[in-house]
C-alpha cells in the first residue's frame, strides 16, 4: 500500500499468527531481495477491550517506531478492505497512545493524530527549556528548528526553496544529532502562504520519503507556534498533498488524505 508514495507492506496479524523482529523487517523492506517498502505495518488484536486494533510500525532498517500518519490511513483502508471490521470510525492502539481513524468519501481517510508534545524532555530533545524554536548546531552552522513529537520526534526547519534545500546533506546529520537521543525525523518546510506549505522529510530509519504524515502534522504545529501559519494548512509533499488542521495548544492535530492498495500477495517467512 502507499499514502502519497510513502509505501508499506501491511501484514494481517489478526487472522494468522505472526511475530515480527528486526531481521524479518529488514528482509521484507529490502527493495532488491525482499518485497520493498519504507515501513512495515502490523495489524494486531488490541490489548484493551475498548480498542479496535493495535498498530505497530517497523522502519526499513528494522527499528520499531511509534507513529506513521500515512500508514494510519492505509491501516484504515486495509482493515475495511480485508473485512476485519465494518466500522467507519476506529480507535487504534499504538505504543504511544490512541489514534482515531475516520473513513470519509472518495477514498480519503481522516486521522486524529492526538495532541502534539512540545516539552523537550518528552519529545525527547535536549534543551534547557521549552521554546517555539531552537538553535541546533549542524555541520558548522546554526539551524533554527521547531521540535515537536507527534508520537514520534520531529525537527522542522524553514527553508526558502524546497527544491534546493540540502535535504540529503543535512537530513542524516539532524536525524542522528546528539540532542535527539532517540534520533529524529528531519522536516524542511517552505512557507507558500499562511494556508499552504511545501515539505520534504528525511525520515528516521528510512531516509527521504515521498510523503510523511506525522511530519506534515509536525511542520504545521511548528509553523503555527512560530506565527507563520493559520489553523488549516495544505501540505504539499513530493508524493501529493494532505490537509492538516490544528486549533492550537492542547488540541489534537487532524490529517486528511488518500490511501491506495498496490497489490496483495503471500510470502513464506
Mapping DSSP to helix (H, G, I), strand (E, B) and coil, where does residue 224 land?
Answer: helix
Sign of CA dihedral 86, 87, 93, 94: positive
Look up cell 535536549; give the residue.
126
Answer for the pair 147, 117: CB distance below 8 angstroms, yes or no.
no
Bridge partner list, 200: 188
All three cell numbers of 20? 515480527
Exposure b/e, 170-198, CB count within 10 A at least 16 = b: bbbebbebebbeebbbbbbbbbeeeeebb
Residues 6 or more apart whose CB falls under 8 angstroms from that of 127 comprise 120, 134, 147, 179
Mapping DSSP to helix (H, G, I), strand (E, B) and coil, where does residue 126 land?
Answer: coil
Q: Which of 68, 74, 103, 217 is catalytic?
A: 68
Q: Which of 103, 157, 212, 217 is catalytic?
A: 212
All three cell numbers of 262? 498496490
Task: Report CA-CA distances (Å) from 238 to 3, 12, 111, 211.
Answer: 11, 29, 20, 6
State yes or no: is 212 an active-site residue: yes
The number of beta carbons lying within 10 Å of the beta carbon of residue 30 is 13
State yes or no: is 21 an active-site residue: no
Alpha helices in the chain (DSSP H): 22-29, 69-81, 167-175, 213-225
Residues 6 or more apart whose CB falls under 8 angstroms from that of 166 comprise none
Residues forming the active site: 68, 212
Amino acid at each position: 500500500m502507499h499514502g502519497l508514495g510513502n509505501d508499506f507492506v501491511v501484514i494481517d496479524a489478526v487472522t494468522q499468527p505472526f511475530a515480527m523482529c528486526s531481521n524479518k523487517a529488514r528482509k521484507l523492506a529490502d527493495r532488491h531481495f525482499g518485497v520493498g517498502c519504507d515501513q512495515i505495518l502490523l495489524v494486531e488484536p488490541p490489548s484493551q477491550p475498548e480498542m479496535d486494533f493495535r498498530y505497530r510500525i517497523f522502519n526499513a532498517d528494522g527499528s520499531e517506531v511509534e507513529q506513521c500518519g500515512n500508514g494510519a490511513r492505509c491501516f484504515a483502508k486495509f482493515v475495511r478492505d480485508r473485512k476485519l471490521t465494518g466500522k467507519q470510525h476506529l480507535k487504534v492502539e499504538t505504543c504511544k497512545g490512541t489514534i482515531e481513524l475516520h473513513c470519509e468519501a472518495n477514498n480519503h481517510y481522516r486521522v486524529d493524530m492526538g495532541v502534539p508534545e512540545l516539552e523537550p524532555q518528552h519529545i525527547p530533545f535536549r534543551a534547557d527549556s521549552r521554546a517555539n524554536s531552537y538553535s541546533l548546531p549542524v555541520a558548522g552552522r546554526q539551524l533554527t528548528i521547531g521540535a515537536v513529537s507527534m508520537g514520534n520526534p520531529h525537527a522542522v526547519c524553514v527553508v526558502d526553496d524546497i527544491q534546493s534545500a540540502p535535504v540529503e546533506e543535512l537530513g542524516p546529520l539532524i536525524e542522528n544529532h546528539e540532542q535527539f537521543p532517540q534520533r529524529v525525523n528531519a522536516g524542511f518546510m517552505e512557507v507558500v502562504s499562511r494556508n499552504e506549505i511545501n515539505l520534504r522529510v528525511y525520515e528516521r530509519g528510512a531516509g527521504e520519503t515521498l510523503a510523511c504524515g506525522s511530519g506534515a502534522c509536525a511542520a504545521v504545529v511548528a509553523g503555527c507556534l512560530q506565527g507563520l501559519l493559520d489553523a488549516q494548512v495544505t501540505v504539499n509533499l513530493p508524493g501529493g498533498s494532505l490537509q492538516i488542521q490544528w486549533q492550537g495548544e492542547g488540541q489534537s492535530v487532524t490529517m486528511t488524505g488518500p490511501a491506495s492498495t498496490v497489490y496483495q500477495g503471500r510470502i513464506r517467512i
